[in-house]
Structure 1
Amino acid sequence: MTASKDEPMTATIEMIEAGGRTLRVAHWRLDQQSEHPPLLFFNGIGANIEAVAPLAEMLTERAFVMFDMPGTGESPDPVLPYNPFTMCWTASQILDRLGVETVDVMGVSWGGAMAQHFALQHPKRTRRLVLAATTAGMLMVPGNPAALTKMADPRRYIDPEFMNEHFATLYGGVDPDGEAHQKDSHIGRLKPPSPRGYMYQLLAMLGWTSLPALPFLSKEVLIMMGDDDQIVPLINGRILASAIRNARLQVMKGGGHLFLLTHADESVAALREFLDAPEGEDRAAA
């Protein structure tokens, strides 16, 4: 995933009214025929569309939909707080506006919790579920305290020197041969969220956990984790895999919290293998 900030996206970008909010929505290839359902993507906390756009650009055989949360990217600040239920309902309304019925759902980090909630709240719209670098919410094993402290520092969004200095501590999984490029490409795609937008994202998941409901989740689920993730340790993926009956755990060797960036080819290959497999095919845990 090596697009630079100067590389144009091929997405269609529009402002959509949904759930009483105006949100900036990006979608790829919705006007093209495909044998695959679109992929609905929930981003990490504070991240804008551009941060994960390279993933959408690589998955050329399927449509892709994602949006900036209120107060992130180009979506206006939220007026009222929201929670997983209201935001997943809003996401469903966005799909309605785009004429999309059934989707595969994917989320990374904070967005992985939102993806779990969407699959539980809208099971008829969800075919398969991909959870990357994420947890069951409140009942999680915390990461490296040094990484969590720096994670809360807003300079990680706007200060390239801060990102370069603390990239390994924050995210882990740095490839020494491509370290500088990876950091520069990541910071180049980030736009800092507004203080209110960031705070409301934090508040949205306060006290939330999916763990009691996960045994009732009947979807096929791919859980992708990095074994060098400083923010969401691998054990959280194992907890998810043990709670979900049709789950497969894929461990990215040497991958940190941003393995979708640092291990892009491997990640896309794993996604295709899972999403393109015939229904009900047995896939042993990695």
Structure 2
Amino acid sequence: MTTFLRVRVLGHEVRVAVRPGTAPGPPLVLCNGIGASLDLLQPFVDEVDPRIEVVTFDVPGVGGSPVPKVPYNFALLACLVAALVDRLGYDRFDALGISWGGGLAQQLAFQYPRRCRRLVLVSTGTGMLMVPARLSVLRRMLTPRRYRDPAYAKAIAPALYGGQMRRRPDEARHVLYEQERLGPSAGYFLQLLAGVGWSSLPALPLIRQPTLVLAGNDDPVIPLVNARILRALLPHATLHVFDDGHLGLLTSADELGPIVSRFLISPDGENAPRRS
């Protein structure tokens, strides 16, 4: 049963959820996308092998975590996550990041190589130095309106997220819009600011952890070529391309949950299927 906590760490109050695992081992720490609270990832958490402990959290200013007094960058946020993991009593951990959270996960792997055991990157790229989405897509990402207006979320879902959202745009209302998990707009813009000038591109060859890269074949936000760049530059990376869009971790959770679980549980971290 998932436990919800309020943890005070580095001067910030952070909302955290812990789903206990039935076997010993490092927890999987999930780093969410921009503007999204930890609740958004529940469909994926439900599909992760019950042996694996799963930790999710709201970035300061998002969901149930109050807005920080000063802006942050990925390096500072990685310090916060590492301190949070300490407070929860873990020494080592695995990190999964989706979209914006993929940048944070890469920062964690680079900044804490002895603590971050394995890395999963989903629908993400290398930050400012990447192959960008179309301007029409980027423009819609500049505000949190899709989290606040269910009709707007439905209207833009096919063009913004691709994949299953092209066929079932009504799901955007349920996936994105939940009034009780909204944070203030300031939190969204602080996340945008954190990524300004940041790129993992020069550091990728130095990330030595076994890495699973998951990418949808119809992702308007993060074009597939970015996943191929990650696979090429990360020394120990495996790429799996799935038939869905940017939100595939949620809309294809029944497929991706077991894939991630096998990668984390296997002794060598390389038992995920390979597709390119």
- 1:48 CA drift (Å): 0.3
Where does the alignment leave 5 or more consecutive residues of structure 1 unmatched? 1-9
How many pairs align? 273
Partner of 1:106: 96
Q: Does 1:217 align with 2:207?
A: yes
- Following superposition, the deviation at residue 95 of structure 1 comes to 0.9
Deviation for aligned residue 1:152:
2.1
- Following superposition of structure 1 onto structure 2, how do residues 115-264 of structure 1 map, counting pairs within 5 Å? 115-174=105-164, 178-180=168-170, 182-189=171-178, 191-253=181-243, 255-264=244-253
Q: Distance in 2 between matches of 1:39 and 1:189?
A: 25
TM-score, normalised with respect to structure 1: 0.90
CA-atom RMSD in angstroms: 1.8
The aligned counterpart of 1:91 is 81
TM-score by length of 2: 0.93
Q: For structure 1, which segment, 189-198 or 14-23, has the greater mean C-alpha deviation from structure 2 after superposition?
A: 189-198
Equivalence map 1:65-80=2 (5 Å): 65-80=55-70
Moved more, 230-239 or 276-285: 276-285
Structure 2 match to 1:277:
266
Deviates more, 1:54-63 or 1:129-138: 54-63
* Counterpart selection for 2:13 from 13, 19, 22: 22
Kindly indicate whether the alpha-carbon contact (under 8 Å) linking 1:51 and 1:189 is maintained by their aligned counterparts in 2: no
- Secondary structure at 1:137 match in 2: coil
Measure how far apart 1:61 and its partner are. Answer: 2.1
> Percent of counterpart pairs with the same letter?
39
Question: Could you tell me which residue of structure 2 aligns to residue 6 of structure 1?
Answer: none
SS in 2 for 1:169: helix
Query: Residues of 1 paired with 2:110 and 2:156: CA distance?
Result: 36
Other-structure match for 2:54 = 64
Q: State the secondary structure of the residue aligned to 1:147.
A: helix
Distance 2:79 2:128 in 1: 21
Specify the code of the residue in structure 1 equivalent to 2:67: D
Unpaired segments of 5 or more residues in structure 2?
none
